[in-house]
Amino acid sequence: MHRAQVRETPVEHSKLLWTHCRKGCAMHQQQFEDARQVDNHYHSTLPANICEAKDCPIHKSRKPEPRKRTTQRKMPHENIHWSFCYNDQCTIHYSAKAGEGYFPKKKGSRQSKN
């Protein structure tokens, strides 16, 4: 047999780690539940995206930091596109709306294009 053709003997199912079990058996489900606890020796087998511990020393460097949302500042009305202006008497956007023949309405209200 060539080196590439060497067959490995299958590992007994009970000796598999929970990450390699494809059956979803109760024993490996319990290993997974145990692994979610930081002080358990199986915890290091968890991928960082599954670890739910806040200050996990094992996965801390591998967890993506949540991006902080920038504060939304109110945009001046003259800077918004006319199609987002719902005031039909708005002097800033009236000519654009009249030119298109369309006066937009907020979601939930219906309007025809003509």
Q: Along the 114 residues of the chain, how does pLDDT read in single tens digits? A: 555 566 666 677 777 776 777 777 888 788 778 777 778 777 777 777 777 777 777 777 666 666 776 767 788 999 999 999 999 999 999 999 999 999 998 887 665 555
pTM higher than 0.75: no
Residue 83, Cβ neighbours under 10 Å: how many?
A: 13
What percentage of the chain reaches a pLDDT higher than 90?
A: 23
Q: How far apart are CA 6 and CA 54, in angstroms?
A: 44
Determine the Cα–Cα distance for residues 49 and 100; give it in Å rounded to an integer. 49
Query: Which alpha helices (DSSP H) does the chain contain, by range?
Result: 26-35, 94-100
